[in-house]
Chain A
Amino acid sequence: METTTTGEPTPLTEPQQREATRLCVETGLILLQHGAESALVENLARRLALALGVPRAEVALLANAVVVTTLSEGHCITTVRRNEDRGINMHMVTEVQRAVLAAEAGALDLDGYRARLATIKPLRYPRWLTSVMVGLSCACFARLVGADWTSCAVALVAAGVAMAVRLQLVRLHFNPLVNFFVTAFVATSVAGQGAIYGIGDKPQVAMASCVLLLVPGYPLINSISDMVKGYINTGLARGMYAVLLSAGACAGILLAMSVWKVWVWL
């Protein structure tokens, strides 16, 4: 950043301030879209503004929008971005944070930061690998509550198939609530065959474990964290959405249990 002879940073021109505002709001938006908690979104957007030479910035978070105002030389610029959920992606959160840290260290100016932000592309693991790993995870959940190996294998297959279905539905841009409903139906249907044909000693544990891939753990934890840190509105919105997703999954479980006539949960 240029400095005058007095050592004070040169104030930003209006186009520069406008650009800095846009970069701040884009940064906040990417973080919010990929599941960062509210405190982190606000903190990074404000720090970025300071790093880019804006003396003061304010960030307001709504359930589905970000608002950023920058103040410089007595002028305010305010801008809003609509937030669409892109699914949890910690790789994006990490990369954006590193870009902000680089800007703070003085390694990136306005143009440099914009270029860096444009290069960040979301990481996606291969779908088959995620399905296998999530299947294994649910088998471990079954083992943790004392299922035998055969029942664990049933949970593995049911959860793996369900995860593959879930990722396919994500790719086809289905509403997450529909997705959770269908996925829970598939998982319970597959694991239910274990109960029907008497595969394994604890088919009820397999049926309970194979739907654990549908517990919205991230939104639930983020919801409480937000509220603990004073972001009540985003916290309530995330919490409500987590409950809705669980209810969608629950409806899928109930439907599958009545179709196959296996009743195990209660």
Chain B
Amino acid sequence: MNLLLGILQQMALAAVPAAGFGMLFNVPARVLWYCAAGGALGRGLRFALVEGAHLPVEWSTLLAAATVSLLGVAVAQRLRAHPKVFTVAAMIPMIPGVPLFKTLIAIAQIQQRGLSDALLSTAITQGLQALFIVAALAVGLAVPGLLFYRRRPVV
């Protein structure tokens, strides 16, 4: 029950940034709803896989991104627009922004204060986490093209 509530909360909180950043990317107004829906679905699914099925966060991200992308293909064909128009905005709630900035700040600190085990470990672990999650998002979004639309365009 708690898990379900958690998923619903994550979905509601993820829908807003997906649509907000959709506006930043100048996604057409009617398509913003799909950004919000995709953002909610992706983040909710990832939360369910991490908390419910205890999968690692990178694999959960990959599965969530692939699911959103596969559903996005159907929407894209109806809208006559490339799925990336709205699926990238839907991935924004899952982008590892904090690890990315932590990596860069740790590197700046190493330069300023000298090398320490704690700083080096922060830089490397956070940097790898950011890299792996971004890669999972991008590969997940590419799944329809990699598996089904190999020799033909999606739209």
Q: B-contacting residues of A (Cβ < 8 Å)?
A: 35-37, 39-40, 43, 47, 88-94, 97-98, 101, 122-125, 129-130, 133-134, 136-138, 140-141, 143-145, 208, 211-213, 215, 217-218, 220-225, 228-229, 246-247, 249-251, 253-254, 265-266
Contacts and interface: CB of A to CB of B under 8 A. Distances in A.
Contacts of A133: 16, 19-20, 23
A250 B85 contact: no
B137 A91 contact: no
Nearest to A132: B20
Given A123-B26, A220-B134, A246-B104, A93 B141 contact: no
Interface of B: 10, 13-14, 16-17, 19-28, 31, 79-82, 84-86, 88-89, 91-93, 95, 97-98, 100-102, 104-106, 108-109, 119, 122, 134-135, 137-139, 141-142, 145-146, 153, 155
Contacts of A211: 97, 101
A125 B32 CA distance: 12
A136 B155 contact: no
Main secondary structure of the interface of A (DSSP, over half): helix
Nearest to A205: B98
Given A137-B21, A221-B134, A224-B138, A122 B14 contact: no
Contacts of A215: 95, 97, 100-101
A98 B80 CA distance: 7
26 contacts: A40-B84, A88-B26, A90-B25, A90-B27, A90-B31, A94-B81, A97-B82, A123-B26, A134-B20, A134-B21, A138-B17, A144-B93, A211-B101, A217-B88, A217-B91, A217-B97, A220-B138, A221-B88, A221-B137, A222-B138, A224-B135, A225-B138, A228-B146, A247-B104, A250-B108, A266-B106
A128 B28 CA distance: 17
Nearest to B91: A221
